[in-house]
DNA sequence: CCGGAATATGTGGCAAATGATATATACTGC
DNA sequence: GCAGTATATATCATTTGCCACATATTCCGG
């Protein structure tokens, strides 16, 4: 859909904004990484990811047991620019900076490194 | 306040986004100009302007009978950039383009031209 | 002080978002 | 097919947001 006010409505919730910031920075993350990074219950993360998915801001693809999310590849240029500007503007403040630290310190991350 | 998710939540409503876009383009507008541009009831506009004011997006000042609103001068640089990017991205699509046209065609506009 | 114009706020009802918890689904390895 | 892990969805209670309408407030001119 990509309706402008729906973009901001989606960003207008702390959990979704934190998720999108991590995805914008890391490129692609599975649900358990987001759950660990934000330190929230898994259903909470899944619900907000579903919200972002239905609004068209993220895409998901399953890979075995894990479902990976990333910022949608079909966004208008101005939307990508808004996301990038926002990420740069808030990445060093709470709670976003802490999310990145927690994610970086997460043990047994799945993915390319084959730790799981 | 300028808490990121509160800023975005304020934009997450069509009426408020349309108001903010007109303000971003025109610099300063009174309530009756916004009411005419969006073609909505005055209490609707006032209510959403109050929402934007409380979120920190706009400032108002009274000048006689009219109350003028403008984009707040104390927004962080990245927020102003998000707003400018958004405005440029959506200004040519509905309903935003129509709002600008209606505002431009409004008769008896108050302000510097002293028409009222 | 009074009437009228511009703007703001109060109220009631209702739809939608949220949070916490429980449960269902999808996949892997055996 | 079974057990276990990862993820998604259902449910319920609560809160929040919104709309339409009525009314209040602020200000100006006379």
Q: If you ran DSSP here, which 8-state letter would residue A94 be given?
A: T
Q: What pLDDT, on a 0 to 100 scale, did the predictor assign at position B17?
A: 98
Residue of A nearest to B55 (CA): A12
Band (pLDDT 50/70/90 cuts) for residue B113 is very low
Is residue A82 pLDDT above 50, yes or no? yes
Average pLDDT, stretch B79-84?
Answer: 98
CA distances to A46, B9, B62 from B54, rounded to whole Å, are 31, 12, 17
- For residue B46, is pLDDT > 90? yes
- Which of B21, B14, B33, B23 shows the shortest CA–CA distance to B59? B23
* CA of A106 vs chain B CAs: smallest distance (Å): 26
A97 touches chain B (CB under 8 A): no
Q: Is the Cβ of B81 closer than 8 Å to some Cβ of chain A?
A: yes
Which has the minimum average pLDDT: A40-49, B54-63, B90-99, B105-114?
B105-114
pLDDT tens profile A3-51: 999 999 999 999 999 999 999 999 999 999 999 999 999 999 999 999 9
CA–chain centroid gap for B113, Å, is: 20
Which domains, and CATH codes, for chain A?
4-104 (1.10.10.10)
B97 — contact with chain A (CB < 8 Å)?
A: no
Does residue B112 surpass a pLDDT of 70? no
β-sheet with B29-30: strand ranges across? B29-30, B66-71, B58-63
pLDDT band at A113 (very low <50, low <70, confident <90, very high): very low
Whether any strand C atom is under 7 angstroms from the Cβ of A44: the reply reads yes
ipTM of the complex: 0.91
| Mean pLDDT computed over B20-32 | 97
Give phi and psi for B114, each to the nearest 5.
Answer: 55, 40
């Amino acid at each position: 859909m990509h309706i402008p006010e729906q973009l901001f409505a989606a960003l207008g919730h702390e959990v979704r904004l934190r998720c999108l910031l991590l995805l914008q920075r890391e490129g692609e993350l599975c649900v358990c990484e987001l759950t660990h990074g934000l330190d929230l219950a898994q259903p909470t993360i899944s619900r907000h990811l579903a919200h972002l998915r239905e609004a068209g801001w993220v895409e998901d693809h399953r890979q075995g047991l894990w479902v990976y999310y990333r910022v949608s590849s079909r966004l208008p240029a101005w939307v990508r620019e808004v996301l990038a500007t926002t990420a740069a503007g808030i990445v060093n403040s709470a709670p976003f900076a802490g999310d990145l630290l927690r994610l970086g310190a997460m043990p047994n991350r799945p993915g390319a490194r084959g730790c799981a």
